[in-house]
Structure 1
Amino acid sequence: MHTEYAQRRETLMSKIGKGTAIFRSAPMAVMHNDVEYNFRQDSDFFYLTGFNEPSAVAVLAPHHEEHRFILFVQPKDPERETWTGYRVGVEAAKEQFGADVVYPIGELDEKLPQYLEKADRIFYRLGRDRSFNDTVLRHWQQLMRTYPKRGTGPVALEDPAPTLHALRQIKSASELELMRTAAAIAVDAHNRARAFAQPGRYEYEVQAEIEHTFRLRGASGPAYPSIVASGANACILHYTENTRQMQANELLLIDAGCAYGYYNSDITRTFPVSGRFTAEQKALYEIVLEAQLQAIAQVHPGNPYSQIHETAVRVIVEGLLDLGLLQGDIEEIIKEEKYKPFYMHKTGHWLGLDVHDVGIYQHGETAHTLEPGQITTVEPGIYIAPDIKPAEGQPEVDARWRGIGIRIEDDLLVTSTGHENLTDAVPKAIADLEHQGV
């Protein structure tokens, strides 16, 4: 990976020309009082450096005569390291991470100007670290004040995200290896959870089985708060309390993925806790499954990204019309989005270093085109909340349908010839999900 990080930096530097790019590490996040969450590096910073410590800055200066990749890091401090863990330090960081020069982070203000004064612009994303935002802006303003005397210096501040995130969208062979591992671990966890779940157990017990499997298999933990939603809880898209006792004749929706080597998986399955679908559950599940299968078929290079969602919406609307849960002209329902009380989210998102990974979905009025190496989720659903309010002109929902929530999600890699389903080993066919009730 050392060579790959260098290649990523070279690619980005070839695109920023005479600019200088500045990237800040993620801040430490506080859980409560003086207790901090486990550190998780900023994804852009990690993508370019592989460096996994806080209080660091990376600078790319392709125009500089001596130093093109500069790191500012925390120096070694044995007393602090006793409390907070080992640091790489200035000397080792140069060798381990391939920087041309490494400085202590305390020397940032002194050393940074030399990498900015001959740049034509600064590439920096104004982010959540307001203090560091002010630092970058202060240096820029100082250089602009002396610009008339020198005739050189950055005359613009530009966000590197559009350029960098386009690179991050296309996964390399090593990235795909990590994502396949993350997917395989999550597959095992979901299959374990389905075997474990039964009426009378609590949602958090299932969550524990899932997250135990994550850690047992070498993942760093959940990619996001695990959703284990039984009964009507499945109608809450980001339900994470996971405190309810599961009852017979209910569905259980599990949306859980893991992080492995900084890369993520994201799987959702919905199945009957008692081993048999009710008639209403089965009718709705068949619609969602068909929507997902048809949407997955749209995942191939050259296809507009929007086609995935549009395909799923049409299948869901057709199915709800057949059940009498919607009424009217299908084109009008889709155009006026009268299906949204039942299906209110998009059908997928990019996946990678971030669960909702970076990348463009739309270029103005034109949908982004799928390319080999991209990974997207495909996750249609139907949610009939107990208090659902149908769109204007649509029928009231009978009580027998209320409280049913269903989502099915897989992780799809766009290949040169079509797609690869990285998470297909978690069953989703009705015949595979039903068994004799306990």
Structure 2
Amino acid sequence: MTLSSQDAREHARRRKELMRRIGNDAVAIIPSAFEVVRARDTHYRFRQNSDFQYLTGFPEPESIAVLVPGRKGGEFVLFVRRRDKEREIWDGRRAGPEGAVERYGADEAYNIDELEDELPKLLAGRETVHYTLGEYAELDAEIAGIMRHLREVSRRGATAPTTLVALETTLHEMRLIKSKAEIALMKKAADVSARAHVRAMKATRPGRYEWQVMAEIHSEFEVEDMQPGYGSIVGGGDNACILHYTENNMLLRDGDLLLIDAGGEYRGYTADITRTFPVNGKFNAAQQAVYEVVLEANKQTIKTLKAGTSAGKPHDVATRILTEGLVELGLLKGDVKTLIAEGRQRQFYMHGTGHWLGMDVHDVGRYRLGGKYRPFEPGMIMTVEPGLYIAPGTEGVDEKYWGIGIRVEDDVLVTENGPEVLTTGVPKEIKDIEALMAKAA
């Protein structure tokens, strides 16, 4: 694999911006992901660390990037796996130090086993090290040891790092605002994921199993060289009331709803879509009543994702609309404001209304600055996912509502001109869902 010229420029731009932010008296250390054992001597499919991918585009495990702003010998240094003919026969090609320079834009590259000798040279003369502690214990200890040694040497007059700063403080704020290139990738992920949900709706009918519908979704991802961005949720009937249901192994029954929360990942960027629809293609009266409340909350909340608006407003709006609906349905009794103040709606709506979306499904970036919700800015992408979940046997609730779990989730880009929904390719209006499923029957 080789980075395209466009991708190479994008990664270089990000590195340059990070180095500008940390300053010439600092150094940043970013480790890759490592392979994870699945069972005995087999591994899970490798997925690169998001921070490392964001800055380098280098696809291999057991690697470390070091950014040294203003360094004459080159600011971008990579430590990578050593070339090994035998291992490459078994496990695949490796770039090695030479490939890291030629194909991935490193100014210098070394074998990873040279880190102990070379890293102290890169840290010497710097005051601050930007690094995320707690992910890799061995590397944590090695960096701490190098800093301690350099401080001891500095007594003879050399400058040594005295401060360790969490890298994510700076880097994750960068990742929160998506570039044009990132937005294009996320639109692709959203488009394919929407097609996967449409395919699932068309394939759903009583007598099929949840895993069979999940297979339709994952197949759509695979033909576009994508993979699931997270564990897909395909919950029929009562299972929809389990927020992170992933067994996906139950029979789909006539008269039940099916909740699908699934998104595909494209070149490191993931979509996140939820739709809820009837297994037999037709909402009954109780299902429709609850669905209309959730859908209204979804649509009205999307309107709040405007530049300058508080990031806390979507949840406030969704909570109010859902609580009003719960009162109208007779599931709650009392004044809406009082019910919200007492948290009574949490029996039926117990999660947040949205989260940042990007390279990670629950993407990085702070929601609050200085103790207050931050304002939305163009380039932010957030999910909008209100829901209502009425568990079987809920006391004081009419049995016709038992087992109804509904969530409607879209991915929304904040722009200068207002919110842009990226996931319009999959229907959410009742009439459109029923028409699609009737046509497929």
- Quote how far apart the aligned CAs of 1:351 are: 0.7
Q: What residue identity is the alignment partner of 2:239?
A: N
- Residue 65 of structure 1 aligns to a residue in which SS? coil
TM-fit CA distance, 1:235: 0.3
Shift of 1:127: 3.2
Q: Which runs of 5+ in 2 are unaligned?
A: 1-6
CA contact (8 A) 2:125 2:158 kept: no
Partner of 1:25: 32
- Is 1:173 matched up with 2:190? no
Answering whether residue 385 of structure 2 is matched by residue 418 of structure 1, we say no
Unpaired segments ≥5 residues, structure 1: 390-395
**TM-score (norm. length: structure 2):** 0.95
Give the 5 Å matches for 1:122-141: 122-141=129-148
Over the aligned positions, Cα root-mean-square deviation in angstroms equals 1.3
Q: For the residues of structure 2 that align with 1:80 and 1:311, how far apart are their CA atoms? A: 56
Worse-matched range after superposition: 242-251 or 380-389:
380-389
Q: Look up the match of 2:3.
A: none
CA deviations over 1:302-344 (Å, ceiling 9, x no partner): 1111111110000000000111111122112112211111001
Q: Which residue in the other structure is 1:401 paired with?
A: 401
SS at match of 1:411: strand
Contact 1:58 1:70 (C-alpha < 8 Å) held by counterparts? yes
Match among 341, 344, 352 for residue 347 of structure 2: 341
Moved more, 22-31 or 127-136: 127-136
Give the Cα separation in 1 of the matches to 2:158 and 2:225: 54
Q: Say yes or no: does 1:371 pair with 2:414.
A: no
Deviation, structure 1 residue 253: 0.4
CA contact (8 A) 1:183 1:265 kept: yes
Tell me which of 141, 154, 171 is aligned to 1:147: 154
**In 1, Cα distance between the equivalents of 2:146 and 2:70?**
18
Q: Which residue does the alignment assign to 2:202? A: 195
Find the residue that maps to 1:127 and give its secondary structure. Answer: coil
**In 2, distance between residues paired with 1:34 and 1:344?**
40
Deviation by residue 1:242-276 (Cα, 9 ceiling, x = unmatched): 11111111100011100111111111000011121
Please give the alpha-carbon distance, in whole angstroms, between the structure 1 residues aligned to 2:224 and 2:121: 46
1:358 counterpart residue number: 364
Partner of 1:431: 431
Partner of 2:52: 45
2:213 aligned to 206, 209, 225, which one? Answer: 206
8 Å CA contact retained: 1:251, 1:273: yes
- AA of the residue aligned to 1:314: R
Contact 1:179 1:352 in 2 (8 A): yes
Q: Does structure 1 residue 156 correspond to structure 2 residue 163?
A: yes
Alpha-carbon distance between aligned partners in 1 of 2:268 and 2:245, rounded to the nearest angstrom:
24
Q: Pairwise mapping of residues 255-404 of structure 1 onto structure 2 (< 5 A)?
A: 255-388=261-394, 396-404=396-404
Aligned AA for 2:188? T
Task: Give the Cα–Cα distance (whole angstroms) in 2 for the partners of residues 90 and 229 of structure 1.
Answer: 47
The whole-number CA distance in structure 2 between the counterparts of 1:365 and 1:218 is 41
- Per-residue deviation at 1:202? 0.5
Rounded Cα–Cα distance in structure 2 between residues aligned with 1:241 and 1:309: 29
Percent of aligned positions with the same letter in both sequences?
48
Partners of 1:172 and 1:189 lie apart in 2 by 26
The 3 A distance-change label for structure 1 pair 121 and 208 is same
Q: How far 1:95 sits from its partner (Å)?
A: 1.6
After TM superposition, give the deviation of residue 387 of structure 1 in Å: 4.4
Post-superposition offset of 1:151: 4.7
Contact 1:199 1:248 (8 Å CA) reproduced: yes
Q: Name the aligned partner's letter for residue 371 of structure 2.
A: E
SS in 2 for 1:93: helix
Mapping for residues 65-144 of structure 1, pairs under 5 Å: 65-144=72-151
The residue aligned with 1:253 is 259
Q: Secondary structure at the match of 1:425?
A: coil
Q: Shift of residue 31 of structure 1?
A: 0.7
Q: When the two structures are superposed, what TM-score results if normalisation uses the length of structure 1?
A: 0.96
Contact 1:90 1:103 in 2 (8 A): yes
Report the number of matched residues.
431
The letter of the residue matching 2:169 is P
| Larger mean Cα displacement after TM superposition, 222-231 or 91-100 | 91-100
Q: How far did 1:198 drift?
A: 0.4
Give the secondary structure class of the aligned counterpart of 2:134. Answer: coil
Which amino acid is 1:23 matched to? I
